[in-house]
With several copies, the nearest count.
Chain A
Amino acid sequence: MKFEVVVELKEEVLDTQGRAIQQTLQRLGHEPLSAVKVSKRFVLDIAGEDEALASALVKTVASAHLANPVAETFTFRRL
């Protein structure tokens, strides 16, 4: 079973990478590009048939490891 986990910086944390990309691309002539946010995406493969169980595992892994609650939030969904 495949799940997608997306880990994003919290709103209030400055996304310096996104800003750097946006500025560079705008300088290169892509003016309408007004903002870029960068996030991390993980695709997890979970063995087994039980979706509820798998989904619980994904949640544990995401909240304990893939995202750091100090600066990040995450969402996940089954693919």
Chain B
Amino acid sequence: MDRISSVGSPRIGLVQFPGSNCDADCIDAFKRLFGIELLLLWHQEEALPPIDGLILPGGFSYGDYLRGGALASCSKIMPAIKAFAGKGGSILGICNGFQILTESHLLPGILLRNAQQNFVCKNVDLAVAPGNSGYHSRLQGRVYRVPIAHGEGRYHIDQDTLKKMEDRGQILFQYADDSGLPNESANPNGSQSQIAGVLSENGRILGMMPHPERASDPLLGSEDGRAILGAFLATVL
């Protein structure tokens, strides 16, 4: 997909669903880290304005009263988002945004209730799994410390699809120990293969449970989100 405008900063949209609550954090992070003003898109719009990339923020859309993201995945704006994805558009879904992406089948798998049954809020270390996507090549070679805060983050997928995803390099992030080894004892929610973030086949849609937008300043505990959000921006440049 061509960029909307080749000069100036990219046009990035952010969808607000009823119950989205990490929208302000995303807006703030993009402004401070990259000087980018996100375009706010209301869930009831049926068409997207011209954009280069799209963010689905975290929160509890519709209270997550069915499964996380299930009700939002059928909101009015979704067909336009699917069309954007179909054209190879770049999308970043964070936490609830990830759930919305799996629920609307833009990403494989499902996010089930955490294995230990409780909501969990903490910093995790993320390792970058093998793969050749733009994200992989930008992010490989180090560990990222990023907060998580969710009750339904246990990634599940059937074995065959998992194998295919691994072969195609669709796994991006895995929960790891601080040395960067994916590790069951570092797995906060029982995710299959410690999966914390996955990509679409074309490598342009990323869904992840951790919140890179919150790791936006050393004063907040980590600035590792900058690299991750930067890798997303790189996919639209």
Contacts and interface: CB of A to CB of B under 8 A. Distances in A.
Contacts of B71: 20-21, 24, 65
A3 B174 CA distance: 39
Interface string B55-67: 0000000110111
A28 interface: yes
Interface stretch (B106-114, B126-134, B203-211): B106-114
B66 A21 contact: yes
Interface residues of B, number: 24
Contact of B112 (A64, A66, A71): A71
Contacts of A25: 74
B109 A20 contact: no
A20 B63 contact: yes
B74 A65 contact: yes
| Interface SS of B by simple majority | loop
Contacts of B62: 20, 24
Interface in A19-46: 20-21, 24-25, 28, 38
B66 A65 contact: yes
Contact of A17 (B66, B102, B110, B158): B66
B117 interface: yes
Interface of B: 62-63, 65-67, 70-71, 74, 102-103, 108-110, 112-117, 154, 156-158, 190
10 closest residue pairs by CB, A with B: A17-B65, A70-B110, A20-B65, A16-B115, A24-B71, A71-B110, A68-B110, A20-B63, A28-B74, A20-B62
Given A38-B65, A66-B66, 18 more contacts: A12-B158, A13-B112, A16-B65, A16-B114, A17-B65, A17-B66, A20-B65, A20-B117, A21-B65, A21-B66, A64-B74, A65-B71, A65-B74, A68-B70, A70-B108, A70-B156, A70-B158, A71-B112
